[in-house]
Amino acid sequence: MQDSALFDHITEKIRLKSEMTAVFICLEDFTSNFFAPKNDDEMQRVFDNLPPALAQVMKDSYLQEPVTHENQSLVHKHVEDLKDKLRTLRVVQLTLAFQPNEEAIAIFSDWVKKNITVDTIIDLQFDKTIVGGALLIADGQYKDYSVRKKLAGRFQIQRDEIVGLLS
């Protein structure tokens, strides 16, 4: 599998920043274990520690030929290039008032990948003080779609009316 195809395949699977962090940890573990001298059984166990989808992609990419010192160097370079590319993923910070389930995460991620770019992931935060709605930070822009903001505006109007009556 070509480097760009591997990157595309992995980024399709990554939805959240926390998942990207897990992939980085797996890649670090992979490189630290893959490059130690091993027999074929030990080499297979290196992949067993990875998440199944990532393990299969890595096996398809790196075990097409017997592992030699020369192709280990190439694999190491490919993994480092992959990590560099993963660092370039765009991140949208999404703060919600509730802990979303898998279905909600899938919906949010699908929308982001479809409407922004496929190489965008979500940094999901939880903050019950926003009451409802969401806070978004993307490309340095902050958007507050929270219920807290709407309630604060409403309370300010009522406060001003009450102060006006007391004056």
Interatomic CA distance for residues 3 and 166, integer angstroms: 70
Q: Are residues 82 and 111 in the same domain?
A: no
Query: Which whole number is the average pLDDT over 144-156?
Result: 75
CA dihedral of 141, 84, 20, 123, whole degrees rounded to 10: -10
Structure tokens that stand for 46 in this block? 């290196």
Q: Which residues pair with 144 in a beta bridge?
A: 135
Q: Are residues 105 and 142 in the same domain?
A: yes
Q: Are residues 100 and 119 in the same domain?
A: yes
- Among the candidates 57, 87, 117, a domain finishes at 87
Q: Are residues 7 and 80 in the same domain?
A: yes
Task: Tell me how far the alpha carbon of residue 131 is from its chain's centroid.
Answer: 25
Interatomic CA distance for residues 126 and 124, integer angstroms: 7
Task: Count Cβ atoms below 10 Å from residue 122 Cβ, excluding itself.
Answer: 24
Quote the mean pLDDT of the chain: 81
Residues in the chain, total: 167
Task: Tell me how far the alpha carbon of residue 77 is from its chain's centroid.
Answer: 22
pLDDT in tens, 12-66: 888 999 888 888 888 887 777 776 666 667 767 777 767 776 777 777 777 677 7
For residue 121, what pLDDT is reported? 94
Q: Are residues 12 and 69 in the same domain?
A: yes
For residue 25, what pLDDT is reported? 83
For residue 165, what pLDDT is reported? 66
Q: How large is the angle between the packed helices 17-34 and 52-62, nearest 10 degrees?
A: 40
How many domains, in total, are found in the chain? 2
- Among the candidates 18, 53, 87, a domain finishes at 87
pLDDT top residue among 49 and 139: 139
For residue 61, what pLDDT is reported? 73
pLDDT exceeds cutoff 60 at 1: no
Q: Are residues 40 and 53 in the same domain?
A: yes
Q: Are residues 69 and 95 in the same domain?
A: no
- Among the candidates 30, 54, 87, a domain finishes at 87
Least confident of 29-38, 95-104, 129-138: 29-38
| Residue 17: domain span | 3-87
Q: Are residues 77 and 145 in the same domain?
A: no
Q: Are residues 20 and 55 in the same domain?
A: yes
Return the DSSP state at 36: S
> Strand 120-126 relative to strand 90-96: parallel, antiparallel, unpaired?
parallel
Express as a percent the part of the chain with pLDDT over 90. Answer: 22
